[in-house]
Amino acid sequence: MTLPIHQLEQYSLRHRDQVLRVLAEDQGEAIELLVFRGFSSSLTQPTAFDPDVPVLPASATIQSIQRFCSPYNPDQPLAPPQTWEAFLAELNS
């Protein structure tokens, strides 16, 4: 099974002009990530130096994904936030 974060990183490799902002929750703790050109970086907790260590635990629940144009400007989203299910449906279509 492919982890959601890996799916998002693969999407960002195909859409190199986009930055994904991911809001998630794991064990009651909020997680915020940016995904760009195949790499993820956590804004709320340390990011491991090793890119093979996922920044989003498998137990986390993605709350929303929002697309931005690169370079990242939080004031200029490309689209409103989507649920993981809606984003996944787009990936699979």
User: Could you tell me the sign of the dihedral formed by the alpha carbons of 84, 82, 6, 50, in that order?
Assistant: negative
Task: Please tell me the predicted confidence (pLDDT) of residue 1.
Answer: 61
pLDDT at 78: 94
What is the domain partition of the chain in residue ranges?
A: 4-92
Predicted pLDDT at 48: 84
pTM: 0.91
Q: What is the pLDDT of residues 1-60, one digit of tens each?
A: 688 999 999 999 999 999 999 999 999 999 999 999 999 999 998 888 887 888 998 899
pLDDT in the model for residue 3: 85
Answer yes or no: is pLDDT of 63 > 80. Answer: yes
Overall residue count recorded for the chain in this entry? 93
How far apart (Å, rounded) are the C-alpha atoms in residues 18 and 15? 6
